[in-house]
Amino acid sequence: MIRDCTIIKELPQGGQKIVHLAEHSKVGKVVIKEGTIKSFTSLERIKREVELLSELESDFYPKQHHFNIDVKTKKFEIVEDYIEGKVLREVMTEFKTTKEIFTLFNSLIKGLSVIWDKNIVHRDLKPENIIIRPNGMPCIIDLGIARFLDLESLTKTISPMGPCTPIYAAPEQLANNKNLIDPRTDFFSLGIIVLELYLGVHPYDPACVGNQFSIVENIMQNKYVVETDTKKRDGVIVELANKTLQTQPYERFRNYKMLNAFIAKQI
């Protein structure tokens, strides 16, 4: 399939992958990802991500068109839909009101419920992994470190930290407490994103919390802010933070149905 593509430009790299924007004669704009398989674990992760994306029929995820591994060179190539739109990081300030934030949040929950229902946890939710399409709907990308709860864990037990982007990770990821990974882990990351959208700053930022610790240390100590000098607290946002940003998963929403019920009350 790659032979039928015309490279348009190189895109910012994702992990160990080289990423190109290209045009395919039939499919249109696509993203080509190429890279080297470093280990059995990385191969397994890529395979799982590819298999999942190819079976997902949802606008909340990019469509997968092609996947190939060259056993001799240990190279892999993936071709998937190019998602028109902007990464949430670039458009965070456009979500000004609580209603706008909750509308986006509601869509994200809808999208994520597709994988949660399959017993899969994204584990890497952050503004960089959410693309806002021109129609305002989010597309969730990069399932590279998703945890498939029905399959064997690929994370080494002795690792001090589990796979994650630390400043958006739940405490159980940071502590590599593998047994505690479930959809509530994603709820934690979503809680951070919502609060960041509302405040305009990361809620665990030491400059806001008023201490000398790092964001990660503040996550581990459950120290975050729900208001800043320029942004007053909002009761609903505080309630959401209370039910997503708790250290113990049992203190968060138990499932996305509870989360949905909470959101439905707000929008």
Partner 1 sequence: MKVYHQTGFRYKWNIESFLNGVGNGLIYSPINIDADKLLALDVKLKHSGFLDPQLYLLYEAKGTLDTYPYFPGNIKPDFATPDLDNSHIQLAQLCVDYQVQNNFEYLIIPSRYYTDNPTTFFSQSTDYFVTPFCDYIRNKNIQKKILLSVIVKTIMLSDEEKRNEVLNWITGHQNIEGVYLILENNFTSKQIKDFDYLLNALKFIKVLKDNQMEVHLGYSNTEALLYSIAMPDSVTIGSYENLRSFGIKRFQDMEKSQMRAPNARLYSSYLLQWVDYEYIQAMKKLMPDYANYFDDSEYRPLMFTPEFKWHFAKSEPYKHYFYVFDRQIKSLPSTQEGRIEELKCKIKNALTLFKKIENEVLLDENSDGSHLPTWFNVINAFQKELTK
Binding region for partner 1 (CB under 8 A):
179-180, 182-184, 248-251, 254-255, 258
> Min. distance of Cβ 119 from partner 1 in angstroms?
8
Task: Note whether 23 and 5 are within 8 A (CB).
Answer: yes
> Min. distance of Cβ 255 from partner 1 in angstroms?
5
Q: Which is nearer to partner 1, 97 or 248 (by Cβ)?
A: 248
Look at the alpha carbons of 172, 174, 176, 182 in this order and tell me if their dihedral is positive or negative. positive
Enclosing H/E stretch for 79: strand 75-81
Other beta carbons less than 10 A from residue 132's beta carbon: 23
> Min. distance of Cβ 173 from partner 1 in angstroms?
14
Enclosing H/E stretch for 259: helix 256-266
> Min. distance of Cβ 51 from partner 1 in angstroms?
20
Task: Note whether 215 and 204 are within 8 A (CB).
Answer: yes
d(CA 33, CA 226): 39
